């Protein structure tokens, strides 16, 4: 998460909310792909040791679909 937030912060230095949205969306897509791959292969994701699908999720990391929106609390 830290690496993703740092990377997106470099691209959007004046928009922490945008960087956070992209970082969280990237991470969520990566984790979802990992669980889906193991579930479709017949592994129980709660009792098995899972390897993160980092290489398979490169496109989700580079260009994530925004699934989370940052909200400012005051």
Q: What does the pLDDT look like over 8-38, one tens digit per residue?
A: 999 999 999 999 999 999 999 999 998 888 8
Could you tell me which residues come within 8 angstroms of residue 45 by beta carbon, excluding any fewer than 6 positions away?
Answer: 35, 38, 39
Q: How far apart are CA 20 and CA 17, in angstroms?
A: 5
What pLDDT is stored for residue 37 in this prediction?
Answer: 86
The token pair at 2 is 């830290």
- Does residue 45 or residue 1 have the better pLDDT? 1
The pTM score is: 0.81
What pLDDT is stored for residue 45 in this prediction?
Answer: 62
With contact defined as beta carbons under 8 Å apart, do 8 and 42 qualify? no
pLDDT class for 57, splitting at 50, 70, 90? very high
What pLDDT is stored for residue 63 in this prediction?
Answer: 94
Q: How far apart are CA 20 and CA 52, in angstroms?
A: 21
């Amino acid at each position: 998460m830290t690496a993703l937030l740092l990377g997106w912060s470099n691209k959007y230095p004046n928009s922490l909310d945008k960087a956070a949205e992209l970082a969280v969306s990237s991470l969520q897509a990566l984790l979802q792909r990992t669980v889906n791959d193991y579930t479709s292969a017949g592994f129980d994701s709660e009792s098995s040791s899972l390897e993160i699908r980092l290489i398979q999720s490169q496109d989700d990391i580079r260009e994530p679909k925004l699934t989370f929106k940052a909200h400012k609390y005051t």
